[in-house]
Amino acid sequence: MINKKYLNISDVSKMLQIEEYKIRYWDSIDPKTNNYRIEGISTKSKGGTRYFNKENINKLKKLKNILYDGNVQNYSIKLAEKILTSNNKSSNKKDENFINNPNVDNIEKIEQILNKMRLLLNNNKKK
């Protein structure tokens, strides 16, 4: 990552390979609820310019992994938000941890199950 405390949307878009309009959408207010679609995606200046710190970028990475498998969209943004907000801990554990450690947090379990389901779906497509 670039050694800046905050990056602009263009830098983050290139870094994470997410179109800027998607980041703006995720970071916008839903007119039905008057709440952000996904809380904590960016840090905004008084003028409304979006800036992204390491925490914001990590949240965007997780959101991208939940919503997309390659270029295929998998889940709704509301489900992704629930998964992201259910637990803010890092989710880099391996499948062995899931089986051997009953204290692995919920988001890690969900991501591991989703990854296994993706593998099964991809294997079935090849047949």
One DSSP character per residue, 102-120 reads TT--HHHHHHHHHHHHHHH
- Over 50: is that where the pLDDT of 126 sits? yes
φ/ψ of residue 55, rounded to 5: -65, -45
> Confidence class of residue 74 from pLDDT cuts 50, 70 and 90?
low
Record the pTM: 0.57
- % of the chain beyond a pLDDT of 70: 67
* pLDDT per residue as tens digits for the range 113-123: 887 777 777 76
CATH of 1-70, one of 3.40.50.150, 3.30.565.10, 1.10.1660.10, 3.90.550.10: 1.10.1660.10
Mean per-residue pLDDT of the chain: 76
> Which of these, 65, 48, 54, 72, lies nearest to 108 by C-alpha position?
65
The distance from CA 79 to its chain's CA centroid, rounded to whole angstroms, is 11
